[in-house]
Structure 1
Amino acid sequence: MDLLIQSEPLTSCVLLLFNQSQKELRRTSAMDTMHEMLEITGPATATLPVGDGCSPITVIGTDPIRQSFGSQTFQQAINSRLAPGVSQVVLNPDAHVGYGAPVGCVMVSPTHVYPGPVGVDIKCSMSLLQTDLPESEITDWKMRRRVIQAIAKRVPTGAGRGQRHVPKSRSVDGPLGFQVATEGASKSVLKKLGIPKSWASRCEDASHTAPDGSVDTLAARLEWMGRERDKRDRLESKFRQLGSYGGGNHFGEAEIVSLSNKQYFRSLGEQWGLRDGCVAFLSHCGSRGFGHDWAMSQFRAMKTHFQSSGLAFPAGDPQLCYAEADSPEGQRYLCDMAMGANFATVNHLLINQLVLESFREVFPGIRGELIYFISHNIARQEPVDGRLQWVHRKGATRALPKGHEQLAGTEFESTGHPILLPGNPRDGSSIMVAQRGASVSAFSVNHGAGRQLSRTKAKKNLNQTVIDQNLLDHDVISNCRVYPRDEAPDAYQDFAEVLKSVTKAGLADEVARLKAKFVLKDGAPADD
């Protein structure tokens, strides 16, 4: 080795390649070891033992999907399972490395709350608006362009953008923003924003309160947070992002609904309000800068608490900081999470109303109804194994079948609720319904296809011309001059294999497939 170090630059390159190959070998070996540890329990289920007398991690996915999980994803799952107070961890088919815990995981605890397995985009969610507009009305690209332009006048896209960037948005001032954050989709909030009151019943949760069940507690905390002028100004600037998409993987898509050819699921879809062969609109976004600020503030506060108290981070990872739910730190986190979640809920409802108004500008008289709104970055207290526990879903979505106690008294009690599962604009998205088998995953499924390429690798390896032409070949247009390479369909897992994982694991069945006709992303407006 000394001789190599003292040699000419060429041999230094050989040494570098040798070291890189050794690192790759160790990484591959670690992945192989993790996969060898899996105990296969079904065609799309497995368990990963973690030792220390803990129940194993549940892994959902067919063999090709499981093979896509890297060693770091498995290690984060193990770290999460061994963290204080955690009783269960599930890896879904879209699992990949996240903030402390993997994206695409479920983490359950009867006593503790973890900000990491919720993430910085609190209550990032999916929603679906169904219209009675037949597919034939948007076959022509010019008509789709007109709708895109109408939406662009009302709904901004991109990080940091808000109402001031578009001429036909809703005006949200400080008092209304305060009400949104503390009340969620209350009748008063919906009336002020011109959103149908009936849509609240189509939300997974229309509003969130403080842990004591009070709105007043949230109001007192928000008032305290805005006591200083600069903080109040920042809050109000975030309020003005209400009714907007962010960047990254956030999107809006016009879809054509194709109901299942199986009569039971077809009838179920019709009962929910889906219309075969008609246009629907699928949205993915969250709590924007408002939720991000709350989440980052809590991460800083909890890390400071750990450091000042001399507590050790689980597996030495500060991103797995936590608090007991009934501690002062835990109560503050739950309050802040609730306000971020309230903002996300109303953000989605307002976007859907603005999108409906946009379609009506081009197609006067069409009707539209919200099918469902469902989140995938939230901690909720739910019954698991006979007791109430905090179910953290990070990039995972709720999946409650018909007859589940949490659906009692809702319109979905006898059917189960819709599960909105985005794939990609080329290969489509899915609407599913949970089955009893979802109990194995804490009544959760994946929130989408999951990445197979990092953003950096996608930008480096995918060809822009191929991406854009591929979408055009599938009759999909967008608001972007060039489609974001890091959001290209090939940056994501094979959606067919992901759906196969869900169905073969017995978690859910498909009710309808969605085919994209146009996409709104964070990008430059397209030419007319």
Structure 2
Amino acid sequence: MKLKLSGKDLRKIGYPEGKVISIAISVMQQFFKHTAQAEALEILEKIRKNPTEYLENETLGTIAAELVEKTKAEIPTEIPLSPDRKEYTIYGADHIEAGAINQMEIAMRLPVTVAGALMPDAHQGYGLPIGGVLAAQNAVIPYGVGVDIGCRMCLSIFDLPESLLTGETRKLKNILQRETLFGAGREFSHPLDDEVLERPEFRQIPLLRGLHNKAVRQIGSSGSGNHFVEFGMASITDPNNEFEVPTGTYLALLSHSGSRGLGASIANHFTKVAMEKTPLPREAKHLAWLSLDSEEGQEYWLAMNLAGDYASACHHQIHAKIARALGEKPLARVENHHNFAWKERHAGPGAEPQELIVHRKGATPAGAGVLGIIPGSMTQPGFIVRGRGETHSLHSASHGAGRKLSRTAAKNSLTWSQVQDVLNQNGITLIGGGLDEAPMAYKDIDQVMRFQHDLVEVVGQFKPRIVRMDD
């Protein structure tokens, strides 16, 4: 019986698409035409697994040679960094650790980099430093966005007096404990529904199909680390504020968290894909990018935007539940992403404006007239700000005070007794929290704000009083 092979047969045993399939079928039908199909496929599988061993074989060598060439073509060579880095502006350079500046120096040498800036709260991270802003040409860097995609701030201002913070501390504390859920992996047993969970991306992108159930169970919850939900007092100082709230002091609710397990899974998956597609020198490997012309780049872009909308929905659920518990509707809401990438038009040095992918990893959007929130620590005020649209910062500002001590250093050098003394001195009630989030681990927010006076103007302040974090 004459041997019959098809491309489907060869693909089943791992042969790649392309010319090698037709070569293999031709060789086998010419020289092994009376061989049983199972035996022929066994021979072909051996060649596929170890093609170099068959290169000198008179009959099978052509198959092996094509496999070797195919393998070489599929392994991308390491992409070198540019010898010279692009110029960029550092805000508060004397107060930023060397590790963060070194990471930014590397990022500014990527072939896709067009412009960048380093914010005054910057500190070392993975890939792009926290506080790093990077504009790239038609490319998105998953670790330039960060693991907690769409991490954001959200502030609700209520027409309630600040006196509630001292007169009804127990009530407000109970509301935070009852209406919030914190911690890595934590899920609700009866989560609320949300339209973001019906988005078509959950059906269209294979990775997201497997994450939908977790997204359903975690919506409206907060993570660990520096994520918080806190009551405090908002002082509105600008009479011309966009949300039309009269100047004065109000009870307010501020939250900080991101896209939970959904965002982390997206970040980790696509970072691995990017590292395979665009291998970089070891010191830059976490800055691997995906071209927006590629299928993987488009999938990441869609998934990133979904994670950002999911993070927003989480905040909105938290604020809605707490507003309902207070029996009040907020007068105004201010919110903004960080850990995200945007398509924006910017002009490079001496160039016309062009569409760029602007990564803000731990940086606040600060385009002209754009409102945002820059928190301090649990004992320092946060600021409601309006962007000035500064071109040198790529329309960006800091996303907080920034760490002065690493998490490990804070745990090793501070005690709970010290933390409690500082909290008592500042009238702060803390629910949960850890030594790594102690107020002393953070930079002076007033100094950080001075460094970015040209980037934002202050509309108001928020002073924390009752702080809820992961236990």
TM-score by length of 1: 0.69
1:144 aligns with 2:121: no
Would the aligned equivalents of 2:127 and 2:287 in 1 still touch at CA under 8 Å? yes
Offset at residue 359 of structure 1 (A): 2.1
2:88 to 25, 40, 57: 57
CA RMSD after TM alignment: 2.1
Offset at residue 305 of structure 1 (A): 3.3
1:317 maps to 284
2:275 to 286, 289, 303: 303
1:93-118 alpha-carbon deviations (Å, 9 max, x no partner): 01111111110010001221101110
- State the alpha-carbon separation in 1 of the partners of residues 439 and 229 from structure 2: 15
Would the aligned equivalents of 1:295 and 1:336 in 2 still touch at CA under 8 Å? no
Offset at residue 274 of structure 1 (A): 6.4
1:381 aligns with 2:406: no
- State the alpha-carbon separation in 2 of the partners of residues 121 and 496 from structure 1: 26
Would the aligned equivalents of 1:108 and 1:390 in 2 still touch at CA under 8 Å? yes
Would the aligned equivalents of 1:151 and 1:354 in 2 still touch at CA under 8 Å? no
- The structure number with the bigger radius of gyration is 2
Distance 1:516 1:235, change over 3 A: same
- State the alpha-carbon separation in 2 of the partners of residues 470 and 426 from structure 1: 8
- State the alpha-carbon separation in 1 of the partners of residues 291 and 242 from structure 2: 44
Amino acid at match of 1:432: V
1:404 maps to none
1:353 maps to 320
2:382 maps to 429
Distance 1:422 1:389, change over 3 A: same
Partner SS, residue 132 of structure 2: strand
Offset at residue 296 of structure 1 (A): 1.0
- State the alpha-carbon separation in 2 of the partners of residues 479 and 384 from structure 1: 43
Distance 1:53 1:303, change over 3 A: closer
2:133 to 106, 130, 142: 106
- State the alpha-carbon separation in 1 of the partners of residues 204 and 442 from structure 2: 40
2:361 maps to 394
1:502 aligns with 2:455: no
Unaligned runs of 5+ residues in structure 1 are 1-49, 184-215, 261-265, 307-311, 361-365, 402-415, 524-528
1:494-522 alpha-carbon deviations (Å, 9 max, x no partner): 1111011111xx11121111111110111
2:431 maps to 479
Percent sequence identity over matched residues? 30
1:116 to 134, 137, 143: 143
1:467 maps to 419
Offset at residue 170 of structure 1 (A): 4.2
Q: Report which structure shows greater RCO (CA 8 Å, sep ≥6).
A: 1
Offset at residue 374 of structure 1 (A): 0.3
Question: Which residues in structure 2 correspond to 1:199-348 (within 5 Å)?
Answer: 216=200, 218-222=201-205, 224-225=206-207, 231=210, 235-260=212-237, 266-269=238-241, 271-273=243-245, 276-306=248-278, 312-314=279-281, 316-348=283-315
Amino acid at match of 1:162: E
- State the alpha-carbon separation in 2 of the partners of residues 76 and 378 from structure 1: 18
Partner SS, residue 448 of structure 1: coil
Would the aligned equivalents of 1:130 and 1:275 in 2 still touch at CA under 8 Å? no
Would the aligned equivalents of 1:123 and 1:378 in 2 still touch at CA under 8 Å? yes
Distance 1:272 1:378, change over 3 A: farther
2:30 maps to none
2:370 maps to 417
Partner SS, residue 122 of structure 1: coil
- State the alpha-carbon separation in 1 of the partners of residues 393 and 339 from structure 2: 16
1:116-166 alpha-carbon deviations (Å, 9 max, x no partner): 1101100000010010110122223xx2222221232222111111212xx
Would the aligned equivalents of 1:130 and 1:274 in 2 still touch at CA under 8 Å? no
Q: Give the count of matched residue pairs.
A: 386
Unaligned runs of 5+ residues in structure 2 are 1-80, 348-352
1:306-327 alpha-carbon deviations (Å, 9 max, x no partner): 4xxxxx3155432111111111
Would the aligned equivalents of 1:379 and 1:390 in 2 still touch at CA under 8 Å? yes
2:21 maps to none
2:109 maps to 82
Q: Which range moved further: 327-336 or 87-96?
A: 327-336
Amino acid at match of 2:324: E
Partner SS, residue 240 of structure 1: helix
1:45 maps to none
Amino acid at match of 1:431: I
Offset at residue 55 of structure 1 (A): 3.4
- State the alpha-carbon separation in 2 of the partners of residues 472 and 397 from structure 1: 30
